[in-house]
């Protein structure tokens, strides 16, 4: 999921920050009883999907750091 965003020219740092923020908001939505059930289920899917942004960015740093 992070690969196409990196290839589009977005900075890895910004992608990782977006991933952290999206995961935090989704987690808060899932774990509170304020939101209706359907919204909590969608937030769970968003949490799981956005979690792929962070390791995708981290693994693209490996070749640069190995030099």
- Could you report the per-residue pLDDT of 19-50, keeping only the tens digit for each? 999 999 999 999 999 999 999 999 999 999 99
The yes-or-no verdict on residue 4 having pLDDT over 90 is yes
pLDDT at residue 1, rounded to an integer: 82
Q: What average pLDDT does the chain have? A: 93
Domain encompassing residue 39: 2-65
Q: Closest Cα to residue 45, out of 57, 21, 29?
A: 29
Please, are residues 30 and 64 in contact by the beta-carbon 8 Å criterion? Answer: no
Q: Based on the structure, what is the number of domains in the chain?
A: 1
């Amino acid at each position: 999921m992070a690969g196409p965003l990196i290839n589009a020219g977005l900075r890895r740092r910004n992608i990782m920050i977006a991933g952290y923020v999206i995961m935090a908001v989704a987690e808060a939505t899932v774990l509170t009883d304020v939101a209706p059930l359907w919204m909590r289920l969608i937030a769970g899917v968003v949490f799981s999907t956005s979690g792929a942004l962070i390791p995708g960015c981290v693994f693209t740093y490996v070749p640069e750091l190995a030099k």
